Chain A
Amino acid sequence: MTDLLVIMAGVLFNFILYLAFGSLILYKKGSETSMPVRIVTGFFCYYSVFFVFCLPVMKFYRPLSMLTSIWTAVVVIVIALSLFLDHKVFIGDIKRIIEKLTNEPVFFVIFLILLIFQIVVTALTYNFTLDAAYYVAGVSTNIDTNMINVYDPFTGAWQDHFEMRYFFATYPVQDAVVCQLTGISPLIWTKSVMSMTIIILINLIYYLIVNKLFCDDSKAKIISLAMILFINLTFNTIYTSSTFLFTRTYEGKTIAGNIAILFIFYMFIAINDGSEPGRSRLILFLTCLGASTVSSTANMLIPVEMTVLFIPLIIRKRLYKMIPGYLLCILPGIILALAFVLYVKGYFVFYTYPR
């Protein structure tokens, strides 16, 4: 029972954090962005800011506890600032939620049933995956050694240099920070709290997309959401993003392949329709940067998706002013991918001890 409460509190706290980061970064007097967009943007903003603080601490082999202290201070400041600046927006959010629930009660009840089904399934199932031997063991190892990525998660051996394949993907380090701060077991945090968080986030994005595609047609929206769930449950080979979503929910590449890809797609629809939220370029940039800090898989996927979606759009609608924004969005992925190539080719290495 206590574990269940801890998990629920963890999920709730995650969403408060994302909402705080998203609301703060998208704060603009007189214009409001919808709450789901602020939450998803907040998620990517959270990991982007974390990346900035994590990298120097890790690179100069300072202890995890130092990062935990710094990050706790950052989070407290962001929440306080967000409460100060956005409290009226949050009150407005509650009113809008009540209004939406009253306007489309059947839709939201069915949506909630579909969501709860997915949460329960991911929360209760046992999945054996090879990559958890790195990602989850990495979290456990970082906490145990109070260092960041210095010891090999697979065996526990000390490494004389950082493995660059994972160096810039700091998402699991954030898990370690939270676990160190709260004392929650890495297994409970990654496999339950983060899994549920990811499932809710992806459903928020599905909700945003079907709203854009079907506008006010509740029946069409619900049929569509049910079909999305059905396809996710049946598009089953070990390689699809759907299988990743249900069996490796907490992994960075699942976030890149589901949340980042589809949120960019949502933004593309909105920009195409001319109904984009305020600061859409900032939202896109944070999504692209955040995705790269979550998983190195995003370094190749995001530039490709941005190109495939936005180049035809820019040409078609003659939105040439978007070109610098587009270039800025693909830059993080390209830079991090090139850094990895240079590392593999032996041009540089980051040692874990002064030489």
Chain B
Amino acid sequence: MQSLNVFEKGIGYLEAVLSYYSGSCSYLMLYILCLAYIILKVDKRDKEIFGFGGLFLLLTVYNPVAPLIMDKIFDVNSEYYRFFWVAPVIILVPYVLTGLIVSAKSSKKRLYITGMVILILILSGDFIYRDGIKLAENIYKMPSELIEVSEKIHEDSKKEYTRVFLEYEYNMQMRQYDPKILLTIDREDYLYAVTNDYSDEMLNDESNLQYRIIAALIKYKDIPVEDFKEAMEATHTEYVVLDKANLFNGYVKEAGLCEIGSTKNHTIYRYPLKEPENFELVDYSVVY
């Protein structure tokens, strides 16, 4: 929900959040129906447990005005959806539907209601594993190829810490597995690159030369080789790992990178840095 903004959307913000939150699922609608049923029902205890709290939620946090007020104190733009976690959808909906099933007087009626409930639930949701379960390749739950890439870089590098440029998915995963690998691009830069383009002004920004690398190798922008090399030097990037399908494999060779190894789908390149980085941890022993 990074694209939603309370200030821009105003009173319509909550509706937009709701639409993102629910997607194609109707469980929030089911929750409202169950809440109405509980409020209209005679049972006092049910009203006490679900009714009053539910109504209070609707009048306060789920009131379209609430985000406008809250945004003045906290930045709630991208996280307001989490307030929907407070509604006990996961408890109330099964409670009401189970109640309908078990209160049926005859077994025929019970069967009929059960069938209806199953149908309602199937139509209300969107199965999390509809595209199949993707099994982890190893105990680390990391792509085995990423582990191979890490090993090959360490085999080639003589240093404890090495700075590497990786494509999106590996960039997000590598340091979970191997914290000895330093990354050229941080998460926010990558998230920016996924949805935005780079202006000339950004590409000439001397304090953020990593933009040139990401613009070339991810956005396939036409960056002059010398500018690219300048960025590699400035960011101390010693290795580049590219998917074999990446269109810029030839480009990095042209920039002077040499292949030091490959895996099934990736090629690992080393850049001959003129001034290699000597990354060391800060010595805190002198502090105390």
Contacts and interface: CB of A to CB of B under 8 A. Distances in A.
B93 A125 contact: no
Nearest to A187: B140
A157 to B, nearest CB: 7
B124 interface: yes
Nearest to B184: A155
Interface stretch (B83-91, B215-223, B252-260, B268-276): B83-91
B94 to A, nearest CB: 4
A154 B49 contact: no
Interface in A325-355: 337, 341, 344, 353-354
A141 to B, nearest CB: 5
Contacts of A128: 169, 172-173
A140 B178 CA distance: 7
A84 interface: no
Interface in A297-341: 297, 300-301, 304-305, 307-309, 311-313, 316, 337, 341
B223 to A, nearest CB: 21
Interface stretch (A68-76, A102-110, A216-224, A280-288): A216-224
Interface stretch (A17-25, A29-37, A241-249): A241-249
A219 B102 contact: yes
B234 interface: no
Given A126-B134, A141-B179, A187-B176, A154 B186 contact: yes
Interface size range of chain A in the complex? 35 or more
B49 to A, nearest CB: 6
A228 B133 contact: no
B37 to A, nearest CB: 15
Given A231-B121, A234-B121, A301-B83, A154 B25 contact: no
A137 B284 CA distance: 21
B123 to A, nearest CB: 10
Nearest to B99: A220
Given A156-B182, A232-B90, A234-B125, A126 B135 contact: yes
Interface of A is mostly: helix
B23 interface: yes
B21 interface: yes
A227 interface: yes
Interface in A150-195: 150-158, 185-188, 191-192
A328 B81 CA distance: 26
B129 A301 contact: no
A305 B84 CA distance: 10
B192 interface: no
A312 B135 CA distance: 46
Contacts of B135: 124-126
A237 B21 contact: yes
Contact of A233 (B74, B127, B178): B127
A159 to B, nearest CB: 10
B98 to A, nearest CB: 4
Interface stretch (A41-49, A51-59, A257-265): A257-265
Given A133-B172, A158-B282, A304-B86, A152 B121 contact: no
A121 interface: yes
A155 B183 contact: yes
Contacts of A225: 94
A231 B49 contact: no
Nearest to B171: A133
Contacts, number: 239
Contacts of A188: 139-140
A78 interface: no
B91 A209 contact: yes
Nearest to B117: A227
A268 B142 CA distance: 40
Nearest to A310: B53
Contacts of A214: 98
A211 interface: no
B182 A242 contact: no
A115 interface: no
Contacts of B182: 155-157
Nearest to A341: B74
A132 interface: yes
What 6 A-B pairs are tightest by C-beta distance, nearest first?
A: A234-B125, A237-B23, A227-B94, A156-B182, A144-B179, A312-B52
Given A258-B85, A308-B53, 10 more contacts: A125-B134, A125-B136, A128-B172, A143-B179, A151-B281, A156-B175, A213-B49, A235-B125, A236-B127, A239-B84
Interface of B: 1, 20-25, 27, 45, 48-49, 52-53, 56-57, 60-61, 73-76, 79, 81-86, 88-91, 93-95, 97-99, 101-102, 117, 121-122, 124-129, 133-137, 139-142, 161, 169, 171-173, 175-188, 191, 279, 281-282, 284, 287-288
26 contacts: A125-B133, A126-B137, A128-B169, A130-B191, A133-B172, A133-B176, A140-B175, A144-B179, A147-B281, A154-B183, A156-B161, A156-B179, A187-B176, A188-B139, A188-B140, A191-B140, A213-B95, A223-B102, A228-B90, A233-B127, A234-B121, A234-B125, A234-B126, A235-B125, A262-B90, A341-B73
